[in-house]
Structure 1
Amino acid sequence: MVHIHIPEEMIVEILSRLPVKSILKFKLVCKLWNSLLSDPRFSLVTKGREHAIFWCSGKRCFGSLDHQYAIREIPRQCWDRQHLDFVGSCNGLVLFSTYGTRYDCYSYCYFYLLNPSTRSFRGLINFGRRILYGENRITDYPVAYGFCFDKLSDDYKAIMVYYSSSSFPSQRALVFSLKRGTTLRDVSLPYMLRGTGVLANGNLHWIDVNGQEIIGGDLMVCFDETTNRFSKLPTPAVVRGGNKPIYRLGVLDGCLCMSRYTAGIYTFKCELFVMREYGVKESWATLCAISGGANLRSVRGWEPLFFTKSGEELLISGSYCILAYNVKTKSLKEIHTYSGQESYVGPLRYVESLIPLGNFER
């Protein structure tokens, strides 16, 4: 029998391109493969690994959308709570909270980390207690969130933006360390942020609702994960104008992008802009523009998710459905419609990963 020696480098290269489900099985092949796949330095090829996760309250489970339009359930029956919100996604991990409210304040709050690819999860009990009862506790229900990773300190950070009686009408932001279990910063913000921050180039981004009212002002707010500071980021000059435009942010092929939806009496228009070089105003370019009639109402407040592997179609989150936009034919089609009897949260974009959850404080 002829034995063929395959270099470890080649084995790693091949395994890094396989689906996570297959990789988990291949750990059982032999000690060498288990050692290679368990090495912290082992990383997956990221291209083509984008997914979108959403929560269905009726079924009490998560759903994950892939490039083939397939939706797979990630069942977890233990999250039988009144509300659920996504805090953010980073390095393939999803941070979310389940909570109850009373008079616009938390009555209870629990935080969890989930790796949708490996289906492992971890409750962050102490983090939830600090949110409710710590020295820098949140007194009102948060209106914006964020989740990011600081490479310099090797630490994951969660950002909570909320109103308080002492800061109203200004917002306050708390920056938490998930690994150290401490509050890193408590700051008043001159912005009005909403929703889950979009992670691009290592930083978090939101649309400043106040910025929409300022002619010539920048719409985007950026959080730097290393300095823990908020600042404005230049937006494309062409996004101004239109009848009450709706702006959303996303990430496509690693580049920050911004969508704009405007509605007329009989016509609707959707535009997508992409920042080719991060932080450079002149690098903004128009990726696509769609105009139409009532058929575009489903795209109201649209958010770009990711391209299919062929690059021919762009998956988009609309107001009540997920759509695919064909870049070549410039056509739209619905691929998933949310049931009117169900309540959905998301979708939130994430990338497949093998990152374990054992290094996070409970």
Structure 2
Amino acid sequence: MAPGMEETLISPSPTLPFDLVAEILCRLPVKLLLQLRCLCKSFNSLISDPKFANKHLRLSTRRHRLMLMSTNDLGHLVLFNSLIPSDFSTSTVSYPDCLKIGKSGPYRVCSCNGILCFTMADGSAILWNPSIRTFKILPPLGMDKQLFLSLYSFGYNPSVNNYKIVAISGRFGKTKISVHTLGTDSWRTIQDFPYSRQLHRLGIFVSGTINWLVVDDGSSFFIVSLDLENESYKRLALPNLEDDCFTSLGVLRDCLCIITTGDVFLNVWIMKEYGNKESWTKLYSILHMQDRVIRLYTKALYIFEDEQLLIGFYELESYKLKLVVYNSKNGILKIPEIGNIRRCLQLDPEVYIESLISPCS
């Protein structure tokens, strides 16, 4: 044996520091991480850690998004594996039993950090993360169903790292707000909603707040915001508009967004600095499609890196929910073939972010 050979043969194999392994793993997609969790105890412990899940979420929001839509047949969601209009490949995820379509199936859905919040037709609420197949049935509100109808919104309070579900319930001019903090087992009633006429009773989460588009008794439109940290309300002004009608409230590029429609154009606005009226900016002014089909635009969903805009709309004539892609460079509107999906249970499309966040936390 040559001199030095013995030392070479018995030298231990090089290993990566565990901190570096964690840095590598938190950049991987959820599907692969779930497989790696079964590899060894140390991987399972790391990937199951809520701190790791939060770090993975911060990174995944920049690189991996899916879009979901309800189906009308076997009780599952269609997940669009890419938001790129030319590559609408799909996969499906079956609902857990508690979400099976039926008389008490899903009625509305919103999402936050990979968790979906379903308002059920029977007035209950269910949280579900389809990436990790984990769900939580929220405790009942305990209100008289003959007097109240409820819709649930869902958001994240970054100051204390917790999630809150906000239920807005009302009928006959009465509107109540209840809040459930994830990890607790009850609801709390907070100050009543300051206005009775919400145009969109499903609130929009952005910047630690839940937001509703409302109109007051004088027919003035504005936004009411609920701060999830101190649970107080604030009135936000809309941009200065002329004769446009409001269609929807949403989120684009992590900013509050509204769509307005006029006789000729569909306009898309974002509030670049949350709470600052002067920061409202018109991103797009889109010429309506000239085919005499009546459309109700439901939501601006996503802006691609090449400035194409994805919008959901409801075609009244065919009773179908569709998608349209607006190319801001040439002004062309295109309806992808995959967008021709029947509307079912009034569930609009949602931009969904894969995550390891558990609704049972």
The letter of the residue matching 1:123 is: I
Greater CA deviation, 84-93 or 16-25? 84-93
**Partner in structure 1 of residue 246 of structure 2:** 246
Q: Give the alignment of 1:318-329 within 5 angstroms.
A: 318-319=313-314, 320-329=321-330
**Partner in structure 2 of residue 103 of structure 1:** none
Q: Give the alignment of 1:1-362 within 5 angstroms.
A: 3-42=13-52, 43-44=55-56, 45=59, 46-65=61-80, 66-68=82-84, 69-76=88-95, 78=97, 79-82=100-103, 83-86=105-108, 88-100=110-122, 109-124=123-138, 127-128=139-140, 130-132=141-143, 139-142=147-150, 144-152=151-159, 154-164=161-171, 168-180=172-184, 181-193=186-198, 194-210=200-216, 213-214=219-220, 219-237=222-240, 239-242=241-244, 245-262=245-262, 264=263, 268-295=264-291, 297=293, 300-308=296-304, 310-319=305-314, 320-335=321-336, 336-340=338-342, 342-359=344-361
The letter of the residue matching 2:148 is: D
Please state how far the C-alpha of 1:341 moved relative to its aligned partner.
Answer: 7.9
TM-score (norm 2): 0.80
Which structure's CA Rg is the greater one?
2
The letter of the residue matching 2:286 is: I
Q: Is the CA contact 2:308–2:327 (under 8 Å) kept in the aligned structure 1?
A: yes
Please state how far the C-alpha of 1:62 moved relative to its aligned partner.
Answer: 1.9
Please state how far the C-alpha of 1:160 moved relative to its aligned partner.
Answer: 2.2
Please state how far the C-alpha of 1:294 moved relative to its aligned partner.
Answer: 2.9
Please state how far the C-alpha of 1:196 moved relative to its aligned partner.
Answer: 1.9
Q: Is the CA contact 2:202–2:212 (under 8 Å) kept in the aligned structure 1?
A: yes
- Against the structure 1 CA distance between its residues 138 and 298, is the aligned structure 2 distance closer, same or farther, given a 3 Å change threshold? same
Please state how far the C-alpha of 1:201 moved relative to its aligned partner.
Answer: 0.4
User: What 5-or-longer segments of structure 1 have no aligned partner?
Assistant: 101-108
Please state how far the C-alpha of 1:211 moved relative to its aligned partner.
Answer: 7.8
The letter of the residue matching 2:242 is: R
Q: Identity rate of aligned residues, in percent?
A: 25
Instruction: Write the distance in 1 (CA, Å) between the matches of 2:260 and 2:65.
Output: 23
- Against the structure 1 CA distance between its residues 30 and 230, is the aligned structure 2 distance closer, same or farther, given a 3 Å change threshold? same
Please state how far the C-alpha of 1:291 moved relative to its aligned partner.
Answer: 0.8
- Against the structure 1 CA distance between its residues 40 and 162, is the aligned structure 2 distance closer, same or farther, given a 3 Å change threshold? closer
CA deviation profile, 1:267-316 (whole Å, cap 9, x unmatched): x31111111111111111111111134348575324111234x4443221
Please state how far the C-alpha of 1:150 moved relative to its aligned partner.
Answer: 3.1
Q: Secondary structure at the match of 1:173?
A: strand
Instruction: Write the distance in 2 (CA, Å) between the matches of 1:317 and 1:58.
Output: 21
Aligned residues: 330
Please state how far the C-alpha of 1:354 moved relative to its aligned partner.
Answer: 0.2
**Partner in structure 2 of residue 105 of structure 1:** none
Instruction: Write the distance in 2 (CA, Å) between the matches of 1:285 and 1:212.
Output: 26
- Against the structure 1 CA distance between its residues 280 and 188, is the aligned structure 2 distance closer, same or farther, given a 3 Å change threshold? closer
Q: Is the CA contact 1:299–1:317 (under 8 Å) kept in the aligned structure 2?
A: no
RMSD: 2.9
The letter of the residue matching 1:322 is: L
